[in-house]
Chain A
Amino acid sequence: MTYGAYALAALAIVMMGVDVVLAVRLRRAIVGGEVGQKWGLLTMLVGVFFVGYLLSPLALYYQLPAEYLNLLVFGVFLFGAVFVWVVIGIIRDTLTFLKLVR
């Protein structure tokens, strides 16, 4: 069970690492504007997630007390919600500009 958790953490770290690279590359390619600002925020959140992911195996290894683990989980939930909110904003801006919303 523990090994399964470590394997999942490793996979998540690799995937989030790739996401960080992609987000930073796109940030450099975007000229600016409101979409550029939102993408900047998104890139920052991806960075925060990546740091959290890197620390997650340590929480497992050192058997972090349940109350701290709960705090970590709900923190991730909160950042995840903000992330989704920013993504929705970018998609809404783009679709509205392309006149693809009813």
Chain B
Amino acid sequence: MTPSEQAALRQLADIPGVVGSMVFDVSGTVVLSEFPAVFDTAALAGVASRLSADGYFQEWMGGEQGTLDLRFVDGHVVLRSLGSAWLLVLCTLQSNAQLVAMSLTQVVRRLRMSPPAPPARVEPAAPPAAASPLEQLRLIVARELGAHSAQALEILAAAGARPKDLRRAIDEIEKLVRLFISKKKAEEIGGRMRAVLED
């Protein structure tokens, strides 16, 4: 975290109606945060982790132009892609949307000029090298299936740690995805999971 990056988030916090903001990378790690102390940091980290693990989120927010506006009854969340990370801004209903949008354009530019996360951390497809095959498979499932990963994670949890058991679990997950999610996704996820086992 550099002073200029933190200053960029502080600039956002000065806008009336902006409650706080944070930057998180593809591994779900919060790399910058400017939220009032009343906010639970673990909860914010949880939000970052869940969003970054969601396949649809990654799809929608991929590239440099990704934008997502979430409107709730008592608040408004704006997400902007920073290329290899995302900026999340929490606003109240009283915030001026145009002013927030203008400031976001500036802040996003400043943050992009100094990427918040080292490149090694933001590689989307590579699970940590030291992780066990089971952990790597879990990571792939969580990233690829996002909100629909619960059943597949259960299959992995029930499987043993032996390669034979994991291979069987991969077959089951591939079948689950083919039947209930998408044939194309099934081929993708099956291929990636088998590659982990072969490594």
Contacts and interface: CB of A to CB of B under 8 A. Distances in A.
Q: Is the interface of A mostly helix, strand, loop or mixed?
A: helix
B85 interface: no
Interface stretch (B27-35, B36-44, B65-73, B171-179): B171-179
Contact of B181 (A31, A93, A94): A31
Nearest to A32: B182
Interface in B167-193: 175-183, 186
Q: Classify the secondary structure of B's interface with A.
A: helix
Contacts of A93: 179
Contact of B175 (A30, A32, A97): A97
Interface string A12-45: 0000000000000000001111111000000000
B176 A97 contact: yes
Contacts of A36: 180
A42 to B, nearest CB: 15
Contacts of B179: 33-35, 93-94, 97
B183 A31 contact: no
Interface of A: 30-36, 93-94, 97
Interface of B: 148, 175-183, 186
10 contacts: A31-B148, A31-B180, A32-B180, A32-B182, A33-B177, A33-B182, A33-B183, A34-B183, A36-B180, A97-B175
